[in-house]
Amino acid sequence: MSLPPLASGPAGPDALRPLLDTVLDALAAGRDERGGPLPAGGPDAVAARVADALEDVLPDTGDPDALRTLVHALAAGSADPADPLCAAHLHCPPLAVATAADLAASALNPSLDSWDQAPAASALEAAVTRTLARTTGLADALVTTGGTESNQLALLLAREAHGGVRLVCGANAHHSLPRAAWLLGLPDPVVIPAPGGTLDPAALHEALTALPGPLLVTATAGTTDAGLIDPLPEIAGLCTAHGARLHIDAAYGGGLLFSDRHRDKLAGLETAHTVTLDLHKLGWQPVAAGLLAVARPHELTALHQRADYLNADDDTDAGLPDLLGRSPRTSRRPDILKIAVTLKALGRSGLGTLVDQVCARAREFAAQIREHPGFELYDRPVISTVLFRPAEADDDAVATVRRRLLHEGRAVLGRARLDGRLWLKATVLNPHTRPDDLTHLLKLVELAERSLPG
Ligand SMILES: Cc1ncc(COP(=O)(O)O)c(C=O)c1O
């Protein structure tokens, strides 16, 4: 029996090339089968289609058509962020060039837990993280699996720097922050009101005055629900005045740094001790592409670990870079490659253009909604999130409209509860989206709402 070919090595390219053709053909066939932003029929129909493609998860003998069959089924059953009508979440359509780079990362399979597994990838990571950190106004950055891991690490570094810490976060903070406090065994977080969607500085001042330290305040630059930015300079000033540490979760808003037009919205970011960035949101990367920027690189010694097989003292003394303290993970993909390729291929201005494009589309969509008598707009978008609802609908109707569009495979919209009411959420992350696409989206919502009983 011949052994299956490998992805790298001398035979790798010739083995991969026909498989790539198979993948690309299956992606196209699956997309044609789906015919819209997501599969119609809801969870049961999708699960049945997947079961049909799988037949037997672990057959006794292999199926030579497995790649085509399963890629086709996955594409047919996907919510496709490259479809302009798929706009619910911070779920971006990845750039072709980043995805191609990710293929190279998979083929070469460097693992960033020791230099002898990732000689060039570790050098690339060191250079790119330094540049991204400086772009943020901080000194160094770690690569993470996304905003959740970055937020967790920010709390861990704060705890280690101060020998314990209490989290003070807005009611608008991402759920990963209180969850990280729980995971790290920290006291229950103090939650500051966020009326209108942003953290209230007066309430923060009161809390910081009353609470004993050490405290870690977290602010958000780009809230998950509404894409709003907390008043960063004011919050930074309060943290300085009260001796509290500041973490800014810019998982969504961090991408604005690439844009000359929008960068000023992040003024104050550089004052934070740590900043979460996430390029699989406003950075058009395939998941995962998270970063945690840090102002004080010496605090990273908290992550230091010695494992003789990976970073023996004598190896380190002899000049082999010690990578183990760059993450709490051990084996680690070179996610930096697709990021580095994207930064170099597009440049800051190329990425800035994408940011400007989605922000402009979101503003135009908001204007369409404002002018439409059948809809209510939550507010003018700050980044690229637009919240709206049919003017006459109650919350149940809003929720039903969203589910109906999902079930029929017509549109993927999110939901957000703000000011005590439920809103439909469109997060524009597709730079190819045209104003007409968003007009069509609004029409679909209108038709779905009209078709509700009563
Ligand atoms: C503000 C914010 N922070 C953190 C996260 C978590 O990011 P990830 O899903 O990459 O872990 C999200 C996710 O949407 C987010 O909106």
Q: What would the pLDDT profile of 393-425 be if each residue is shown by its tens digit?
A: 999 999 999 999 999 999 999 999 999 999 999
DSSP string spanning 184-241? Answer: TTPPPPEEEP-GGGS--HHHHHHHHHHS-S-EEEEEEBS-TTT--B--HHHHHHHHHH
Q: What would the pLDDT profile of 173-226 be if each residue is shown by its tens digit?
A: 999 999 999 999 999 999 999 999 999 999 999 999 999 999 999 999 999 999
Q: What percent of the chain has pLDDT over 90?
A: 99
Residues enclosing ligand 1, CB less than 6 A? 90, 146-148, 151, 174, 176, 220, 222, 224, 249, 251-252, 278, 290
Confidence check: pLDDT of 1 > 80:
no
Distance 362 CA to ligand 1 centre (A): 20
Confidence check: pLDDT of 141 > 80:
yes
Phi then psi for residue 65, to 5 deg, are -100, 15
Give the helix/strand (H/E) hosting 293. strand 290-294
Task: Give, for ligand 1, the residue of 91, 179, 224 to mutate: max count of ligand atoms closer than 8 Å to Cβ.
Answer: 224
pLDDT number for residue 301: 98
Atom 7 in ligand 1: residue holding the nearest Cα: 147
CB atoms within 10 A of CB 312: 15
Residues contacting residue 26 through CB under 8 Å, at least 6 positions apart: 67, 68, 69, 71, 72, 75
Distance 183 CA to ligand 1 centre (A): 17
Angstrom distance (rounded) from CA 297 to CA 291? 14
Distance 15 CA to ligand 1 centre (A): 37
Helix (H, G, I), strand (E, B) or coil at 39: coil
Distance 417 CA to ligand 1 centre (A): 17
Atom 4 in ligand 1: residue holding the nearest Cα: 147
Q: pTM for the full model?
A: 0.98
Angstrom distance (rounded) from CA 195 to CA 247? 20
Give the bridge partners for 169, in sequence order.
191, 218
Task: Give, for ligand 1, the residue of 278, 339, 429 to mutate: max count of ligand atoms closer than 8 Å to Cβ.
Answer: 278
CA distances from residue 336 to 93, 254, 265, 296, 351 in whole angstroms, order as listed: 18, 17, 26, 21, 16
Angstrom distance (rounded) from CA 302 to CA 255? 28
Atom 6 in ligand 1: residue holding the nearest Cα: 147
DSSP string spanning 45-107? Answer: HHHHHHHHHHS-SS-SS--TTHHHHHHHHHHHT---TTSTTB-SSS-PPPPHHHHHHHHHHHH
- Ligand 1 atom at minimum distance from 290 CA: 10
Q: DSSP letter at 285?
A: P
Confidence check: pLDDT of 288 > 90:
yes
Grade residue 48 by pLDDT with cuts at 50, 70 and 90. Answer: very high
Half-sphere CA count of 153, side-chain side, radius 13 A: 31
Residues contacting residue 42 through CB under 8 Å, at least 6 positions apart: 406, 407
Q: In what order do the strands lie in the sheet with 421-427?
A: 375-377, 385-390, 421-427, 414-418
Angstrom distance (rounded) from CA 152 to CA 158? 10
Distance 46 CA to ligand 1 centre (A): 26
Distance 213 CA to ligand 1 centre (A): 27
Mean pLDDT of 385-393: 97
Angstrom distance (rounded) from CA 146 to CA 434? 28
Mean pLDDT of 142-169: 98
Grade residue 72 by pLDDT with cuts at 50, 70 and 90. Answer: very high
Domains assigned to the chain = 13-77 (no CATH), 99-345 (3.40.640.10), 347-450 (3.90.1150.10)
Distance 370 CA to ligand 1 centre (A): 28
pLDDT number for residue 454: 72
Q: Are 102 and 337 in contact (CB under 8 A)?
A: yes
Mean pLDDT of 326-339: 98
Give the helix/strand (H/E) hosting 423. strand 421-427
Q: Are 217 and 249 in contact (CB under 8 A)?
A: no
Strands 385-390 and 375-377: antiparallel
Angstrom distance (rounded) from CA 219 to CA 103? 35
Helical residues (DSSP H) of 256-394, grouped into ranges: 308-311, 313-317, 336-371
Grade residue 453 by pLDDT with cuts at 50, 70 and 90. Answer: confident
Angstrom distance (rounded) from CA 157 to CA 141? 13
